[in-house]
């Protein structure tokens, strides 16, 4: 199950006109990249919950079903936003998720792109005999800032949650759940970490699967820009693994020398004497003559005036706010 219903409120105006998973991630809608990763890992039956701007996700789902052989996608609409706990409970009832016949259920957020080996995690889960296995980073980086950490004991048994920045492993929001795990789910509004995980911890049936594989999350504008740059600089995307970073980053489109082409949206124009570095331009952006844009995001259809200087900011509505 992919959670894609949220309003994306932390993204501010970037998600006013579209669902967060519909945002481009290095030139391709994030949801499309996530579905490609799932099918590449052997997952063919997917359920996506929908609430905020579902019309921006439906074309991506239709395209994926058409172009990714064997993929079937169930839609779980939510007239009222239910949170991840309520969303999973609703989808499980509608589609039989987590039934004994269906076997284990993979659950993850639609605003993330993992790169770990799903087969390896599934093998770990089966060998541990766990009701739930959570993907965890033993050396959490800045992408986990502000998030609670998983505390673990022997054999990766999850024993508790520490506060943001405390000791423990970074949790990516990826779960493998046995049908029995859903017995701990109350299904009210809120998150799985608050509703489902406490019961699993009390039963001693939750395990952490440690992985240092890159993981990208676009929960805030700052994280969105950082994840996009890390994915390209680290060669984490399939289309970039075969070419050196130096060759991939060299580009010339208007005044955007050294800027990744994947971070310049369709229809965007950079004047020859403007400067764009380390930034993300969404669709139909215009960067005026002599303008400088560094380490920033420019929202769709915005015009940065000639001579303006934008640094470490989100530019939208004709104004820049710090990232």
Q: What is the pLDDT of residue 45?
A: 95
CATH 3.90.550.10-classified regions of the chain = 2-217
pLDDT of residue 101: 67
pTM (2 decimals)?
0.92
Residues 6+ apart with CB under 8 A from 104: 122, 125, 176, 177, 178, 179
CATH 2.160.10 fits 240-322, yes or no: yes
Give mean pLDDT, residues 89-100.
85
Find the helix packing angle between 30-40 and 58-67, rounded to 10°: 30
Lowest mean pLDDT among 26-40, 67-81, 132-146: 132-146
Domain 2-217 has CATH 3.90.550.10: yes
Residue 244: predicted pLDDT:
40
Inter-residue contact 56 to 69 (CB < 8 Å): no
Residue with tokens 């239910």: 82
pLDDT at 252 over 50: no
- How far apart CA 250 and CA 300 sit, in angstroms, is 24
Please tell me which residue, 20 or 237, carries the higher pLDDT value.
Answer: 20
Residues of the chain with CATH 2.160.10: 240-322
Report how far residue 145's alpha carbon sits from residue 165's, in angstroms, rounded to the nearest whole number.
7
For the cut 90, the answer to whether the pLDDT of residue 151 exceeds it is yes
Question: Tens digit of pLDDT for each residue in 220-230?
Answer: 999 999 999 99
Q: Which of 60-64, 99-103, 154-158, 242-246 has the lowest mean pLDDT?
A: 242-246
pLDDT in tens, 154-193: 889 999 988 877 889 999 999 999 999 998 988 888 899 9
């Amino acid at each position: 199950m992919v959670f894609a219903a949220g309003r994306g409120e932390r993204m501010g105006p970037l998600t006013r006109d579209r669902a967060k998973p519909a945002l481009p991630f290095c030139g391709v809608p994030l949801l499309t990249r996530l579905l490609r990763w799932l099918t590449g890992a052997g997952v063919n039956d997917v359920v996506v919950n929908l609430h905020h701007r579902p019309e921006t996700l439906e074309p991506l789902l239709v395209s994926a079903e058409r172009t990714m052989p064997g993929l079937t996608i169930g839609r779980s609409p939510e007239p009222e936003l239910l949170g991840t706990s309520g969303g999973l409970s609703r989808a499980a009832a509608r589609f039989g998720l987590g039934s004994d016949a269906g076997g284990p259920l993979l659950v993850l957020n639609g605003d993330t792109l993992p790169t770990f080996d799903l087969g390896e995690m599934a093998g770990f889960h089966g060998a541990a005999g766990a009701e739930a296995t959570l993907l965890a980073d033993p050396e959490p980086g800045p992408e986990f800032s502000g998030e609670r950490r998983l505390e673990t004991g022997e054999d990766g048994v999850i024993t508790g949650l520490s506060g943001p920045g405390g000791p423990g492993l970074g949790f990516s929001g990826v779960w493998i759940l046995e049908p029995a795990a859903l017995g701990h789910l109350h299904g009210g509004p809120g998150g799985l970490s608050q509703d489902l995980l406490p019961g699993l911890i009390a039963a001693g049936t939750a395990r952490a699967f440690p992985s240092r594989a890159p993981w990208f999350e676009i929960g805030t504008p700052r994280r969105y820009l950082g994840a996009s740059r890390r994915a390209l600089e680290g060669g984490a995307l399939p289309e970039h693994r075969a070419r050196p970073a130096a060759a991939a980053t060299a580009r010339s489109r208007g005044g955007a020398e050294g800027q990744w082409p994947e971070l310049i949206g369709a229809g965007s124009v950079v004047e020859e004497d403007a400067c764009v570095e380390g930034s993300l331009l969404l669709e139909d952006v215009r960067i005026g003559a002599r303008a400088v844009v560094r380490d920033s995001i420019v929202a769709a259809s915005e015009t940065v005036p000639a001579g303006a200087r934008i640094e470490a900011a989100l530019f939208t509505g004709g104004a820049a706010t710090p990232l």
